[in-house]
């Protein structure tokens, strides 16, 4: 019997015809989504990248430092007596010749009204050029009227562009007259205004460092302004030097005064502090503020409300450099609570009073009072530092930090003689 052969049904599966319209729509949709996702990714990266970068690579704030002032060594100090004598003769001969030339020149050239006009025009132009490192500081505080309604009160003072710590511009100003202002703004020389905040303030002098974020300052403003250059105010040769008061010496921002320094021996003794004062022949208006510059454009002094009296008197810039550096770097300052003066030569010679910082007052509840310092004590040593004046006492205090524990040596009068007393004192934080 023959076997029958059976075949399975052969079926051919045909591919569904391509729908070109659907394919086109899918392609377009995919491309559109890709573009949208790409844009979202770019925007997200641009927004998040600075934040991530700041976290991973935080911007370093540079420390503000002012160059140490070095006393110039006079040539006479390096020469022999013979050389000094010879040099003195040459100097006198040169002085005579110079005097002759000046006499001849003054006799042949009249300094008339036109020359005076030109001189003062040049001085005014120079003062205006220096205003690019000055700012107007506006403090806003809330006040109440007699109906118990609230309103905003504005106080204005002149400020000095002191330093750039990479992230901020630091402004030095006297904010003592602004009370408890809640907001501060700085107006630059190009009239642009930017919000500022207090970095640190010295309650005694009123001197304040305000910080302005550089991210908030327009690039065109950064091109217009500059950092002030600080001069030297401790040299005796400064007396008689012509100066210009800029900022608001007459109480109005932008006012200018011209004159000269008449004295540099004044001092303002405060609690744990002593500052040199420069006196000028300049008369001022109500609530003056600003700085004193020389004809090289360098700042010689800073006006603050804690310095009173007429004519214009300012803090010598050399004496406040340490203070403003600490304020700029937001460093905490030590506080003992001692007011004092220098021991004079007459007191030392006639009454055998030891040289040192004479204590005139001990602030109540201060670290000094708790340590046992008394009025009439003479501070002669703090730690390893010898003290021969109240200025030296202040310098040591500025070098300390809160919570530092030091030994203070004082000379105390027991009715017949001065005896040494050693006290232990713990510094607190100054306001």
- Residue 198's contacts (CB-CB under 8 Å, 6 or more residues apart) are 175, 184, 208, 209, 210, 211
3-state secondary structure of 148: coil
Do 324 and 346 have their domain in common?
A: no
Domain termination residue (choose one: 328, 362, 385) = 328
Is residue 67 in a domain? no
13 in a structural domain: no
**Domain for residue 220, yes or no?**
yes
314 and 338 inside one domain: no
Q: Residue 29 falls within a domain, yes or no?
A: no
DSSP letter (8 states) at residue 189: T
Tokens representing residue 178 in the block: 């602004």
Q: Which of 375, 345, 370 lies closest to 358, judged by CA?
A: 375
- Contact of 343 with 350, CB cutoff 8 Å: no
* Domain end marker among 328, 350, 379: 328
Within-domain flag for 242: yes
CATH code of 410's domain: 2.30.42.10
Say whether both 275 and 321 belong to one domain: yes
Classify residue 99: in a domain, yes or no.
no
Do 197 and 240 fall into the same domain? no
Residues 256 and 217 placed together within one structural domain of the fold: no
Say whether both 248 and 287 belong to one domain. Answer: yes
- CATH number for 277: 2.40.10.10
Number of domains forming the structure of the chain:
3
- Asked whether 284 and 328 are in contact (CB, 8 A), the reply is no
Tens of each residue's pLDDT in the chain, 431 residues: 455 555 545 555 555 555 555 555 666 566 555 555 666 556 555 556 555 555 555 556 788 787 766 654 444 443 444 455 556 656 666 665 676 566 656 655 556 788 778 888 888 899 999 999 999 999 998 776 777 677 678 889 999 999 999 999 999 999 887 878 889 999 999 999 999 999 999 999 999 999 999 999 999 999 999 999 999 998 888 999 999 999 999 989 999 999 999 999 889 999 999 999 999 999 888 888 999 999 999 999 999 888 877 789 999 999 999 999 999 999 999 999 999 999 999 999 999 999 999 999 999 999 999 999 999 999 999 999 999 999 999 999 999 999 999 999 999 999 899 999 999 999 999 98
DSSP state of 178: G
Q: Has residue 42 been placed in a domain?
A: no
The residue segments making up the domain with residue 374 are: 334-429
Domain membership of residue 91 (yes or no) is: no
β-pair partners for 193: 187
Looking at 193, 224, 255, the residue that finishes a domain is 224
Counting other chains too, the contacts that 74-83 makes at CB distance below 8 Å and 24 or more residues apart are none
Cβ neighbour number for residue 162 with a 10 Å cutoff: 25
Q: 209 and 152 in one domain?
A: yes
């Amino acid at each position: 019997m023959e076997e029958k052969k059976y075949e399975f049904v052969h079926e051919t599966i045909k591919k569904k015809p391509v729908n070109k319209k659907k394919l086109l729509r899918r392609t377009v949709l995919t491309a559109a989504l890709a573009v949208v996702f790409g844009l979202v990714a770019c925007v997200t990266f641009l927004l998040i990248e600075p934040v991530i970068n700041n976290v991973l690579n935080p911007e370093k704030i540079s420390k503000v430092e002012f160059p140490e002032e070095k006393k110039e060594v006079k040539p006479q100090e390096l020469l022999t007596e013979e050389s000094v004598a010879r040099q003195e003769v040459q100097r006198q001969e040169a002085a005579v010749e110079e005097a002759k030339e000046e006499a001849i020149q003054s006799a042949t050239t009249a300094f008339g009204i036109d020359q005076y006009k030109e001189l003062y025009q040049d001085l005014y132009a120079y003062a205006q050029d220096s205003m690019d490192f000055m700012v107007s500081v506006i403090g806003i505080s809330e006040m109440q009227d007699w109906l118990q309604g609230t309103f905003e009160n504005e106080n204005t003072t002149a400020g000095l562009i002191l330093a750039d710590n990479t992230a901020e511009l630091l402004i030095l100003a006297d904010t003592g007259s602004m009370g408890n202002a809640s907001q501060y703004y700085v107006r630059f020389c190009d009239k642009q205004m930017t919000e500022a905040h207090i970095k640190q303030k010295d309650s005694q002098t009123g001197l304040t460092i305000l910080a302005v974020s550089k991210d908030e300052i327009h690039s065109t403003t950064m091109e217009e302004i500059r950092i002030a250059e600080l001069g030297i105010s401790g040299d005796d040769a400064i007396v008689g030097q012509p100066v210009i008061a800029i900022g608001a010496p007459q109480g109005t921002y932008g006012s200018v005064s011209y004159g000269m320094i008449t004295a540099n021996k004044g001092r303002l003794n405060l609690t744990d502090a002593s500052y040199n004062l420069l006196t000028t022949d300049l008369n001022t208006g109500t609530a003056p503020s600003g700085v004193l510059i020389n004809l090289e454009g360098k700042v010689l002094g800073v006006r603050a409300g804690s310095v009173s009296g007429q004519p214009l008197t300012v803090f010598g810039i050399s004496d406040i450099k340490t203070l403003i550096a600490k304020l700029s770097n937001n460093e905490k300052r030590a506080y003992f609570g001692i007011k004092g003066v220098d021991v004079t030569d007459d007191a030392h010679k006639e009454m055998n009073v030891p040289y040192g910082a004479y204590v005139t007052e001990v602030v109540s509840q201060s670290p000094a009072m708790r340590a046992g310092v008394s009025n009439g004590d003479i501070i002669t040593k703090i730690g390893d530092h010898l003290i021969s004046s109240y200025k030296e006492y202040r310098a040591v205090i500025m070098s300390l930090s809160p919570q530092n524990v030091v030994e203070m040596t004082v000379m105390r009068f027991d009715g017949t003689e001065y005896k040494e007393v050693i006290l232990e004192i713990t510094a607190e934080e100054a306001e």
